[in-house]
Amino acid sequence: MTTQTPTTPAPQVNRIGLAKADYKGGESTLCGGCGHDAITSQIIAAYYELGIAPHSVIKLSGIGCSSKTPAYFLSRAHGFNSVHGRMPAVATGANLANHHLNPIAVSGDGDTASIGMGQFAHLLRRNIRLTYVVENNGVYGLTKGQFSATADLGAKLKHGEVNDLPGIDLCALALELGCGFVARSFSGDPRQLLQILKAAMVHRGTALVDVISPCVTFNNHEGSTKSYTYAKTHEEPIHEIGFVPHFDPLTAEIPEGTAKDVAFPDGSHVRFRKTGRDYDPTDKHAAMELLHETREKGEILTGIFYMNPRKPEFAALQNLVDHPIATLPLERTRPRREALQSIMESLT
């Protein structure tokens, strides 16, 4: 009688031959149950499913619990952990030095909506290519749970303090500042978050993804409007979203013909199926109106509120050469003596 040696099944790989494990990073040191870890899992899944090579990605962050998370995915990517609120400036420089890299930023509500607000506004205005994920929990987790600028008016802290200031709605602000991709999701809704992240990663411009990500240690109690219970009971998806990659349109979960498609220049598209209300994600005014309306009702609206995949990104507006500036040879970056001479003569 012959005995059969058990065979180990070959690991599943994506279109560039990498396994999901190749997209992981270090072990998380965040509190168990923190919403940020759920977002990290979907970032890993999105890069894996898109088949983006880890070394072609640059991860950027500022300061806060959220800004630690790039260490937990894509350990083979480039990375820069900047100072508090200054990540957009570093992202701008990185983008101009090498616009072939695929950049992702992970920030928090404190890092973005308070100290980094000026930088955030100018990043959006310029439309730097960047998937900008805000892990929004309404508190400063790293400094023991004080309200941040996105905390809702009337929300309560753990020990009963009430927030008497109105919260900043980052999505409404991004629309106002001309952002070409504005979305909101919830860390407890992995299916929707994955589709939004994939679309954001393909978008050639700033893609803001504001994710309600509960802080289990300081802001997950009754009276909080950023807790798991509150988000689960108040989440209102405006549509069902399916990302359809250009390299495999057969993977679309939402069948063609039942929905509206918005295409990216590379041939990928996002398929929207309505879940109740009629909504056009290319209508910026409708998006603004809806955000204001639902905010007054205390609903957490999720989905892609607005997308304009044809809005020119900053690198294109600057007429950059196709070759990344960071690796251009010296003879292509330094003008010849005659060229300088002719410029000087033209000025006399």
- Chain residues in the site for ligand SF4 (CB under 6 A): 30-31, 34, 36, 65, 137, 141, 215-218
Tell me the closest approach of the beta carbon of residue 39 to ligand SF4, in angstroms: 11
Residue 119 or 148 having the CB closest to ligand SF4: 148
Tell me how far apart the alpha carbons of residues 299 and 169 are, in angstroms, rounded to a whole number: 12
| Sign of the torsion formed by the C-alpha atoms of 15, 21, 26 and 32 | positive
Q: Quick one: CA dihedral 150, 293, 280, 119, positive or negative?
A: negative
* Closest separation in Å from C-beta 339 to ligand SF4: 53
Query: In terms of CB distance, is 108 or 180 closer to ligand SF4?
Result: 108
By C-beta, is 71 or 215 nearer to ligand SF4? 215
Measured from the CB atom, is 36 or 203 closer to ligand SF4? Answer: 36
Give whichever of 67 and 102 is closer to ligand SF4, judged by the CB atom. 67
**Nearest distance from C-beta of residue 142 to ligand SF4, angstroms:** 6
Smallest gap, in angstroms, from Cβ of residue 134 to ligand SF4? 13
Report the residue number, 123 or 170, with the smaller CB distance to ligand SF4.
170
Q: How far is the CB of 138 from ligand SF4 (least distance, A)?
A: 10
CB of 224 to ligand SF4, least distance (A): 12
In angstroms, give the least distance from the CB of 111 to ligand SF4: 12
Tokens of 19: 């396994």
Question: For residues 96 and 141, what is the distance between their CA atoms, to the nearest angstrom?
Answer: 33
Tokens of 187: 């860390």
Smallest gap from residue 173 Cβ to ligand SF4 (A)? 22
Considering the complex, state which of residue 63 and residue 65 has its C-beta at the smaller distance from ligand SF4. 65
What Rg value do the Cα atoms of the chain yield, rounded? 22
Q: Which two tokens stand for residue 119?
A: 């930088």
Sign of CA pseudo-dihedral 340, 343, 347, 348: positive
Which CB sits closer to ligand SF4, 84 or 311?
Answer: 84
